[in-house]
């Protein structure tokens, strides 16, 4: 029995993901070196899909995601940005108005759905499922409204 466990354990160990940090270092001659050992002046490379290394506290370490734009990066003038923000605000206001209408309709449907049908009991599975679905719909629309409100607040 223990012989059968050994290959299984070996496979588990070999399948464990590696959690090394990768650094890119460019020396004075312009030679690029990728390594897992930090050197002064090296930049850490974030690989998509790679697991994040854990800090000593057990939580994933957080780095600032700010990367300054290159000097030749195209800039947008303030007027163009304001027009874009105004369009975005209008789209969000239209969306929130629609979601509020949908939430009101969902509440109306819930009120109708909570009424017992002839021969139906409040403990029947069909009644409970119907009411549960209607409440979930109301809750979803209310969450959508609050999410859009947060987006609108971020624009101001």
Segment 87-104, tens digit of pLDDT: 999 999 999 999 999 999
Question: Closest Cα to residue 101, out of 48, 147, 45, 141?
Answer: 141
Sequence ranges of the chain with CATH classification 1.20.58: 78-155
Asked whether the CA dihedral 76, 77, 80, 81 is positive or negative, the reply is positive
Q: For 58, list phi and psi in degrees, rounded to 5.
A: 90, -5
- Out of 20-24, 57-61, 89-93, 144-148, pick the least confident: 57-61
Q: SS in 3 state form for 73-141? A: CCCCCHHHHHHHHHHHHHHHHHHHHHHHHHHHHHHHHHHHHCCCCCCCCCCCHHHHHHHHHHHHHHHHH
Q: What CATH number does the domain located at 78-155 have?
A: 1.20.58
Band the pLDDT of 155: cuts 50, 70, 90.
confident
- Out of 36-40, 53-57, 87-91, 107-111, pick the least confident: 53-57
In the prediction, which pLDDT does 97 show?
A: 96
Q: What is the mean pLDDT of residues 64-80?
A: 81
In the prediction, which pLDDT does 12 show?
A: 53
For residues 137-154, one letter each, b for 16 or more C-beta atoms within 10 angstroms of the residue's C-beta and e for the rest, the string is bbeebbebbeebeeeeee
């Amino acid at each position: 029995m223990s012989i059968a466990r050994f290959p299984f354990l070996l496979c588990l160990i070999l399948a464990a993901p590696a959690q090394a940090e990768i650094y890119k270092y460019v020396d004075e001659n312009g030679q690029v070196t990728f390594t897992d050992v930090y050197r002064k002046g090296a930049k850490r490379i974030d690989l998509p899909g790679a697991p994040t290394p854990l800090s000593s506290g057990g939580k994933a370490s957080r780095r600032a995601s700010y990367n300054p734009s290159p000097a030749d990066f195209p800039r947008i003038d303030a007027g163009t940005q304001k027009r874009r923000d105004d369009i975005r605000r209008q789209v969000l206001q239209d969306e929130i108005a629609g979601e509020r209408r949908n939430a009101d309709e969902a509440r109306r449907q819930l009120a109708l759905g909570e009424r017992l049908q002839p021969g139906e009991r409040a403990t029947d599975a069909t009644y409970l499922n119907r009411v549960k679905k209607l409440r979930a719909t109301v809750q979803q629309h209310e969450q959508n409204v609050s999410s859009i409100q947060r987006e609108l607040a971020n624009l101001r």
